[in-house]
Amino acid sequence: MIKIATSAICLFLLFTKGFYITRALMLLLLYVSIVFCTSYLRPQTYRWETILYLISFVLTYIYFYDRIVVRQLFTHEFFIKILRFILLAYAIALIIQQCALLAGFQTLPIINLTQFLDKGLGSNALSGEPSSAARVITVAMFCLVRMYEHHLGHKPTVKELYHLAKYPVLGYGWSILTIGSGTGFIALGLLALYFIQPKYICISLSTLAIVFVIIPYIEFIPLQRAYNTFLATLTLDKSVVIETDDSAAARVVPLINTLTNLDLFNWQTWFGHGVDYIKNMGGHTDQMLARYIGCIGEYGLISFIVMQITVYKCFIRKFLSLETLFWIILFGATFGNIAYTWGVIMLMTATKHFIEKPFINNEEEQ
């Protein structure tokens, strides 16, 4: 209800404070229109609440884009403070939850400890589950790195980053290693790619090979889950991936499906099967095996193409980039009706906005 109220306020402010016709507005209106029309073709599964919930996120993002990119209400320094705050907030919340777990509490809603995961110190921090928290903090860390890169005029080393943001870096390191998420280790691996310099590529590959060999002997469940999921993915066998890690399969299987099973000569591929197509497939395994990335199964390939055009116009600068890997591997290349995904999109939008313009130190003015 809080999210719905926020989007309603954004809609009110858009009409009362005025707004510009931006690329985000035009592309997202086109995307929502396609989703609406393709869903309406399937009245037997059409649900207004799903479409309206999507529209609520779209409205919030359009308001954000208008205020941040067009009106430029954030300064470079203020956005860095926001990123640092997010990383510290997640770390502090996680540490408090871990202390509660050590004290014997399995749930304590007042600190967002809403479920007992039985993963040692693993908990959900400020998110609904460890995997979503791991995605958020990794993207926040990556955005912070990009901002410092723009500030310094070169890619910062790990040492430089530590000196620039000691506590956020330590908070991220503790969180990603102890939060209890296999997805977290995949996210950490993607982030580590940023710091690999071309001249050290051979050393890095050798180190990676050694680590890959010794991982099976490390008794740490989240790391083992990430390792086993990676091996299962290499087989391109969806059943093996689901059997290995059901949670990770929710992100891996749709990608495998899209790469191997998408029929471009079927009109339903382009226009989708409608809302709840996947939910009506039967059991959990059947639903998993039928998923495609980007809600292609529900809303069609046309909507997916418009979505990706929006992505590369609004919050990712280059297709061949780490941002693309984050988008595909961690978020399934889809908006979805998921709050933390839209939150991450906002962080990446602001980052793209700042690094595309010259850095001006406004700290004293601010």
Cβ(273)–Cβ(279) under 8 Å? no
Closest CA to 140 of 200, 91, 208: 91
CA 12/CA 63 separation, integer angstroms: 10
* pLDDT for position 347: 97
Cβ(292)–Cβ(257) under 8 Å? yes
Q: Considering the entire predicted model, what is its pTM? A: 0.86
Q: Torsions phi, psi of 108, nearest 5?
A: -160, 85
Residue 217 per-residue DSSP state: G
Report pLDDT digits (tens) over 180-192.
888 888 899 899 9
Residue ranges in the chain modelled with pLDDT below 70? 45, 198-205, 207-208, 211-213, 217, 219-222, 232-239, 242-249, 282-288, 359-366
* pLDDT for position 205: 65
The distance of Cα 64 from the centroid of its chain, to the nearest Å, equals 17
Report pLDDT digits (tens) over 206-223.
766 776 667 776 766 667
Name the CA dihedral angle for 288, 290, 296, 300, rounded to a multiple of 10 degrees.
-150
Structure tokens at 84: 């640092």
344: helix, coil or strand? helix
* pLDDT for position 283: 65
Burial class of residue 194 in the structure, from the number of CB atoms within 10 Å of its CB (0-12 exposed, 13-18 middle, 19+ buried): middle
CA 151/CA 146 separation, integer angstroms: 9
CA 38/CA 270 separation, integer angstroms: 9
Burial class of residue 363 in the structure, from the number of CB atoms within 10 Å of its CB (0-12 exposed, 13-18 middle, 19+ buried): exposed
Helices (H), the chain: 2-17, 23-40, 48-65, 76-102, 130-152, 158-164, 166-178, 182-192, 201-214, 221-234, 238-244, 246-261, 267-271, 284-290, 296-314, 322-325, 339-355
Non-local CB neighbours of 331 within 8 Å, separated by 6+ positions: 135, 341, 344
Closest CA to 147 of 167, 134, 164, 135: 164
Burial class of residue 260 in the structure, from the number of CB atoms within 10 Å of its CB (0-12 exposed, 13-18 middle, 19+ buried): exposed
Closest CA to 242 of 262, 228, 224, 221: 228
